[in-house]
Structure 1
Amino acid sequence: MLRLVHGMTLPSIGPLRAVGIDDGAIRKGQTYGTLIVDLDRRRPIDLLPDRTSPTVAAWLRRHPGITVITRDRSSEYARAATLGAPAALQVADRWHLLLNLRQALERWLTRVHGRLRCLPSLPIGDGRRPGQRLCTYRRSEAEIAVSRDSRARRLVAYEDVRRRSQAGETLLAIARATGLARGTVRKYAQAESFPERAARRPEPSHLDPHLAHPEERMTQGGENAMELWRELRGRGFAGTHRQVHRFVAERRTRPARRTARKWLVRTSSPAADTIALPSPKQLAWFLTQPVEARPPHATAAIGRIEQDPEAARFGALAQLFATLIRSCCVDGTPPADPAGELDIWLDAARLSDIPALKTFAAGLERDGAAVRAALTTSWSNGQAEGQISRVKMLKRTMYGRAGFPLLRRRVLLAA
């Protein structure tokens, strides 16, 4: 069968007008190739063994006549398109523009997350629906001890990275010396304070559909967990009494009658009604979502961090940029002068005094022609992104053991 596949004639490429370029892992984390897609015929036309600019530029020179090249924000592909097809119009992918914005937000939020956690919750509410939990149940003492030990180890690593960074060591040298991933080293080196792990949102529980009843009963003074459990069983609750006990234990206003003496200090006062701030990744996602699509808890979290003036400026500019990109999509209603709107936004970003935002804006200016083409044309790199997913599927059917020649033939013959 392999001899038959290798002996088959590959389909001809034919004249090309518009191509999409994207990279895909041949061996994840080690070897990457470049897939080239004919955007007019919607099919892959070649798979290159690497993603370097000389290889891609040489392929483009062998196929003159290309007038449009869509790509992501990779500087290698930008250089390759400039060298191999200087007369072609380069179009940055709009999805990647939003992705890069979210990544810039996440990096900045990771650095200042400790400062934002100190901001108080606003009195407008926390975005909770009736009967919805905003925090997980209290863990056991053994789980708390494991979490405490893990935090202590991460704190030691953070202080070591900060000390080495302030001494002038490079991030790569610190990563090699400490054994930490470069992303972790960068996060620790840039953080204003120790980056605590964000509290997770609660997982679904059998008690969730019945929370309204115990909450109402506890406002009336009913804090007997077993009594509440019996009432819930009559309402169809199929869980055990332990879930009800954990729910009631966090909201008691006074100790239960049979509470052991060693726990009296811990249960003598009600639990603090604090809402944990979402993680930097979640906050970055919330800030780039359309305002009308945000869930209530996202609106509450954004209102909380916008008490910080720098976060308010960054969030407002991020929302303006995301709205501009979405309005220029095929189904959107673009402004009369999207390139002019982009220039106004870039001026505002430069004057913001936020390093992460200024870095993002500088990258957009370096890639200015391709970014403006993304706002003023309907071309997109979505075809190449979809074909990359198809390449992954073909790799899995061969258990990842196929060499590059066989993978290339299967990608092109299956088209």
Structure 2
Amino acid sequence: MSRQQLIDMTRSLVAHGEAGTMELADDVVRIPASSYTDEALFEREKKQIFRRLPLMVAPSCELPNPGDYKAMDICGVPLLLTRQKDGSVGAFLNMCKHRGNPVAAGTGNATRLMCGYHGWTYKNDGTLVGVASPQDFGAVDKAALCLTRFPVYENAGLIWATLDPQSTLDIADYLCGYDDLLKAFGFESWHLFSQRTLSGPNWKTAYDGYLDFYHLPVLHANTFGADFYNRANYFAWGPHQRLSTPTKYAVKVSSDDDMQLDLTTVADDDLSYEVLVQGVWTIFPHISIASFYGGGLRGAMISQLFPGDTVGESYTTQFYVMEHEPDDEDKIKAAREQFDFLEVVVRDEDYTTGKRQHEALQSGMLKEVLFGRNERGGQVFHQWVEKLTDASDEQLKEIFAAECKQAAE
């Protein structure tokens, strides 16, 4: 992790804040409205983006202990994550090699996973260890019938997996060094306080909102407030972006009150990591990370977005993680109130608006939508969606090799 990179970004934001400026894109960009409504394109995006690129499938604190497991479905692919004896994470196709029945459901802790159909049993490292009634079934090579492995990678307190067992795209290359910057949060030792899943609109409609500060004082006037900032500068590592407000101030949180901290008065060596990671950090194609404080306790909401069954549907799991587990009723209540507040903001404001927007776009009466010069994050996102949807497997490797090289320079 480069602390200096974080300091440089912060000083850039401070300079823009003092000057009353922001970084602007070169021009207004037009995106076909059908990009949100075309069913054939939607299916292609699920295949080319979500079933081919690395996805952040869980925060590490969701599987803190050896034996912990999590089963989930992503775009029709049943995924099983396990925390193995040595502390590493395994990612598997959640299908028994006998008939394809899932070997686990939901979450839990187990060193052995038994298929509920015929009783075949696997270790949590994917090894097939038991065939029911082997004397009747017949001879099989158990070593050849282990659970199918997916590429998996854990860093910065986050877990990525690629839902293609044949993928040769290195997950670390895909992240372009971005994961090392995410270490500044310190998620490796954080606590998962709570989580829930919300229904949303088309996945790109939903994700647009995470890349957009422009709407904050309008759509969220009754929650965040009408005087909330609406400007954001963007920093990019390949398709992954950080959005943060160009200002010389940061929120300083104490046990008693919140106050503004003038960053022009703070030396680089004294800048805390809490200040250095302010803003919204997005991991392409479906993650948003934003810092919050419940009763003065440091936390973050990690929003994990996936396409739904149809072009107009998506679902988002919100993970509220905390630097320290609340240890008394008042702290628990404050954290719960913060998480409940964020549910209202996303469910009742962002996603309700997104669903109305999608219904209107489905009329076909609007041919294109606009992303202004002050909405560079959205511009970049849609450019990367199109680029990666159209790229071949070999081109993916070339694209991210080049991005890694550029990030390292």
Shorter chain as denominator, the TM-score bin is: under 0.3
Structure showing the higher helix proportion among its residues = 1
Structure 1 or 2: more strand by fraction: 2
Please report the TM-score for the alignment, with normalisation by the length of structure 1: 0.20
Larger radius of gyration: 1
